[in-house]
């Protein structure tokens, strides 16, 4: 059952909310249509932002994983470099020792 709650606003028994009579208020109909259009645009913009956010989060996660891999590789290469420098230092010490023996034997 519909009851009238004032000019242009019939009420319905479901929740007793006002239902605007858009035929009696054409300017209001246009305004509500614009509002609905604005809300749809806002909804699309929000959905676009959410999708972009999700894509950026996924890209960020991927880049962080790549960074971890690169850091590990860098640690390995630094360790190899230190090992090579130690071997070179040991060889220099051996060469110096051999030079000392050659000079003393001459």
Per-residue model confidence as pLDDT tens for the chain (106 residues) = 444 445 554 455 555 555 555 555 556 666 778 888 999 999 999 999 999 999 999 999 999 999 999 999 999 999 999 999 999 999 999 999 999 998 888 7
The four Cα atoms 93, 95, 98, 103 give a dihedral, to 10 degrees, of: -100
Chain centroid to CA 8: 49
Delimit the domains of the chain by residue range: 2-105
């Amino acid at each position: 059952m519909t009851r009238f709650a004032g000019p242009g606003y019939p009420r319905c028994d479901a929740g007793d909310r006002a239902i605007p009579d858009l035929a009696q208020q054409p300017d209001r109909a246009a305004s509500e249509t614009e509002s609905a259009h604005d809300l749809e645009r806002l909804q699309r913009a929000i959905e676009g932002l959410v999708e972009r956010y999700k894509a950026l989060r996924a890209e960020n996660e991927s880049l962080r994983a790549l960074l971890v891999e690169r850091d590990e590789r860098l640690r390995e290469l630094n360790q190899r470099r230190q090992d090579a420098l130690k071997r070179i230092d040991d060889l220099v010490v051996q060469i110096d020792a051999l030079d000392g023996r050659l000079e003393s034997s001459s």
